[in-house]
Chains A and B, each alone.
Chain A
C-alpha cells in the first residue's frame, strides 16, 4: 500500500498543491477576491496531507527493509534497531530534504489553522509565500534528490548506518534543528506579505512575533542538542568548534534573536519596522543558505561532496530566487514604508536597538569568518583557515557588552528613560555581581573566565531583580506581591527566564575553561587522582553486543573515601563497518561532570595496560541547561495571552477592516 511509488506521486502532488498555494492566493489577495483567497488554507492542508503520505511511505520503506529503494539500501540494514530505522530516514541528504519540506508544510498548515484571526489578505499572502518556497524545495527533492529512487537488482541487505549516528541524541537533533530553521519561514512570509501590502504596523509585529519566538525556541534547543551530542560522543569533552557547519546554525540564531527583540519595538512603538522586515528576511535566508550551502561542498572542508554538482547549482538557483527575490522586493517596497517614531537613546527601545547592533555585529563577524576562506581562495588563490582562536578573539569582546546591557534593558521604561533610577534599582544585583567577581578572581584562573563569571551572575541577578522590582517584593506585604506577580504578564517572566538562561549558559562556558583532564596508561587496579576524586580502574572485560563487541572498563570514583559512582566507559568494535567507537561514561551532579573514556589496550595479554582519559568538567551541564531555560522562557512568553495570534480581538477587528474592507 505505502509503496515508494505512492510516496513519489504524493510528493509530486504536494509540489502541485504547493505551486497552486503559491500562486492562487496571491491573485486572490490582489483582486481582493475572498473566494480565491479562501483557497489558501485548503491548499496548505492538502499539501501537508500529501507530504505526510509521502514521508510515511519513506518511513514504511525503511521500517520494512525495502532495499529496492536506493535510499534505504544505502543507509539502512536488517540488523539496525527499529528506532534508528525510523530516525535514519532523515539521516541522509534525500530524506532530510523531504523532512525539511514536511516541516515547511506543517508551518503553512499551522498558519492556515491558527491564523484565522489574521486579516484575510495578509493570511492569504503569508500562506502563498510559504507555498512558493515549499514548491521550490519539493521540486528540488523530485528532480535532484529523489528519496524514492529504486535500485535494481535490490541488494539482500543494506549498507547500514554509521554506528556513530545510531545515537538517540543525534536521532532527534535534525528534526528539532530543522523546525527551528524552517520555522523562520513564517516570519519571512509575513515580511514578504507586508512588503507586498506596503504596510507594517503594530498588529503585524504582534502577529509575527509568536512565530519567530517559537522558531527561536526550537533553534536554541537544536543547537544545544548538537553541542551536547558532540560533548558526549567525541570523547574529549569538546562542545563547540566554530566549524562552518555549526556556524551555519549559529548565524540564523543570532539574527533570529535580534528579530524577536526588534519585533517588540514594532509591536509596542511602531519603530524599527523596516529593520525588522529585513531581519525576518535575513534570518530565513541565512537558515536556507546555511543548511544548503553546507551541502554544496563549498563550506564543507576536506574532499567530500563532489558527488552531484547539479545539486549545488539547483540549490544556488533556488536560493537566488528565494533570497534574491525577497531582497529585490525589499529594495523596491521598503523605501516607501513609513518610518517609525522618535525615541530617546536611553529608553527600552534604545536598549533593544543596542541589542540588535551588538547581535548583528557578532553575526557579521561569524558570517565573515565562515565565508572568508573560500572567498580568499577564489579571489586571491590563497588558502587560509579561520578557526576557534579567531572567533574567540573577535566575538567575545562583542558579546561581553551585550551581556552587560542585557541586565539594564528590560528595566528601562519605553520612550524616554533615566539611567539613574534603573541603576538604583539594580544596586543589589550590582553587589552580588561584585561579590561574584571577587570570588571568581580568587577561584578562577584567567581574565576572561573571571569577566564571564561576573557578567553571567550579573545577567541572572538583574533578571531576578526585574521580577522582584515589578512585584515590589519586600516593599509591600507578601500577599500584595503575589497578587502583583499573578497580574504580571507571562511574557515578563519569559523574558527574565530567557535572559537568566543566557547567564546560566555563560556561567557554564566560563567554568568549562577551568576543566581539568588527565590521560594515563595504567594496568587494572590503579588509582588516579584528579580534581579531588580518586578514580580506580577496577576491571576491564570483553562483552558482546548486538552487532559489535565491546571492551568495557569499570572505574570506581571515590571522593574523600566515599563511593561517588561506578562508571563503565567502553570501546565498541563494529565488525560490519570495520569501525570502533568510544562510549563515554559521564556522571553528573549538575555542578560538575565526571567524564571517563576508555582508550587503547597496550602491553602484553598477560599484563595489559589501558589508556584512560579522565575529565573533570565543572558546570558543564549548565551550558545546555541554560539553552533549555532560554527555550522555556520563550515558550512561557508564547503562552502569554497577548502573544497568542490575533489575541486582542478589538485590535484585530479594526485592522481587518483596514486591510480587507
Chain B
C-alpha cells in the first residue's frame, strides 16, 4: 500500500493545511496525467459502457476518485479489467459483482442499499419531510394561536426600557 503512496503521503502532509478545498485532487497528477490510448476499447459503445462502470468504482488508493479519473497504477489495472470484462460481453452487474467479491463494497462509490445504509439513502427524503413538517406545525400553531397584540412601537419600547432598567 505504501509505495504507491509515498509521494502522495509526502505531499499530503503539507496539503491539508493549504488545500482545504482541493487537496486530494493532486494525487493523480503525481502518478500520471494522461491515460494510454491503447487502454481504450475500439468499439465506442463498449468504451462508453466501460467508462460508465468505471466511474462507479472507487480508486482504492485515492481519495473519493473513480478509477476512470485516477492515474494511480491500481486504477489503471482495474480499468483494464473492466474493459476486458466488457469486451467479453458481461453485464454491468457481473462486473460489479466481480469487483465487490474482491474488494468489498468499499469499491462502490455509490453504496448498495442495506440496513446499514438505509439512513444514508433515506436522508434526502427524511430531511425534506422533517423540514416541511416542522414548518407546517409551526404555521398551524401560530395560525391557531390568538392573534398577538400589535407589537410595541419603538418609542414605547424605549420608554418601557427606561422604566424597567433605570
Contact = CB atoms under 8 A, between A and B. Distances in A.
- Quick check: do A and B touch in the complex, using CB within 8 A? yes
Contacts of A227: 21-22
Contacts of A345: 139
A598 B20 contact: no
A243 B25 contact: yes
B5 interface: yes
Nearest to A597: B34
Given A365-B127, A385-B64, A388-B55, A305 B12 contact: yes
Interface stretch (A16-24, A40-48, A101-109, A294-302): A294-302
B89 interface: no
From B2, B14, B162, residue with most partner A Cβ within 10 Å: B14
Contacts of A395: 124
Given A222-B21, A305-B16, A241 B64 contact: yes
B123 A368 contact: yes
A229 B62 CA distance: 19
B20 A387 contact: no
Contacts of B63: 241, 243-245, 300-302
A249 B22 CA distance: 10
Contacts of B161: 657-659, 661
Interface string B101-131: 0001111111100001101110110111001
Given A234-B28, A361-B124, A385-B106, A301 B64 contact: yes
Given A91-B17, A245-B20, A234 B29 contact: yes
A380 interface: yes
Nearest to A367: B123
Contacts of A170: 18-19, 22
Contacts of B29: 164, 233-235, 581-582
From A245, A364, A395, residue with most partner B Cβ within 10 Å: A245
Contact of B158 (A75, A368, A369, A661): A661
Contacts of B157: 654, 658
Chain B contact surface mostly: helix
Interface in A361-380: 361, 364-365, 368-369, 372, 376, 380
Contacts, number: 278
Interface residues of B, number: 78
B116 to A, nearest CB: 6
Interface string A90-125: 111111110000000000000000000000000000
Interface in A425-483: none
Interface in B14-45: 14-26, 28-30, 32-38, 40
Contacts of A222: 21
Interface string A588-610: 00000000011110000000000
Contacts of A571: 33
Interface string A483-525: 0000000000000000000000000000000000001110000
B165 A249 contact: no
B14 A661 contact: no
Contact of B36 (A353, A611, A661): A611
B46 interface: no
A387 B109 contact: yes
Contact of B5 (A91, A225, A303): A303
B92 interface: no
B127 A600 contact: no
A304 B28 contact: no
Interface in A256-309: 270, 290-291, 294-295, 300-305, 307
Contact of B17 (A96, A162, A226, A361): A96
A302 B8 contact: yes
Nearest to B34: A599
Interface string B47-61: 000000001101001
A659 B158 CA distance: 9
Contacts of B32: 599-600
Contact of A246 (B17, B21, B36, B131): B21
A178 B19 CA distance: 10
A600 B34 contact: yes
B124 A394 contact: yes
B37 A521 contact: yes
A388 B124 contact: no
Contacts of A233: 25-26, 29
A236 B33 contact: yes
Given A233-B29, A368-B123, A389-B55, A177 B21 contact: yes
A368 B5 CA distance: 28
A328 interface: no
B155 to A, nearest CB: 7
A377 to B, nearest CB: 10
A248 interface: yes
A370 to B, nearest CB: 10
Given A386-B111, A598-B34, A654-B157, A230 B12 contact: no
B69 interface: yes
Contacts of A234: 25, 28-29, 33
B33 A235 contact: yes
A90 B155 CA distance: 51
B22 A173 contact: yes
A165 interface: yes
Contact of B30 (A95, A223, A294, A579): A579
Interface of A: 74-75, 90-97, 161-162, 164-165, 170, 173-174, 177-178, 222-223, 225-227, 229-230, 233-236, 238, 241-246, 248-249, 270, 290-291, 294-295, 300-305, 307, 339, 341-342, 345, 353, 356-358, 360-361, 364-365, 368-369, 372, 376, 380, 382-390, 393-395, 397-398, 519-521, 571, 579, 581-582, 597-600, 611-613, 651, 654-655, 657-659, 661
- Nearest first, the 5 A-B pairs at minimum CB distance are A599-B34, A226-B21, A387-B109, A357-B131, A389-B110
15 contacts: A162-B26, A165-B14, A170-B18, A174-B18, A178-B20, A243-B25, A245-B63, A300-B63, A304-B8, A369-B120, A372-B117, A385-B105, A388-B109, A394-B121, A581-B29
Given A291-B20, A521-B38, 6 more contacts: A225-B21, A226-B19, A294-B23, A302-B9, A356-B131, A519-B34
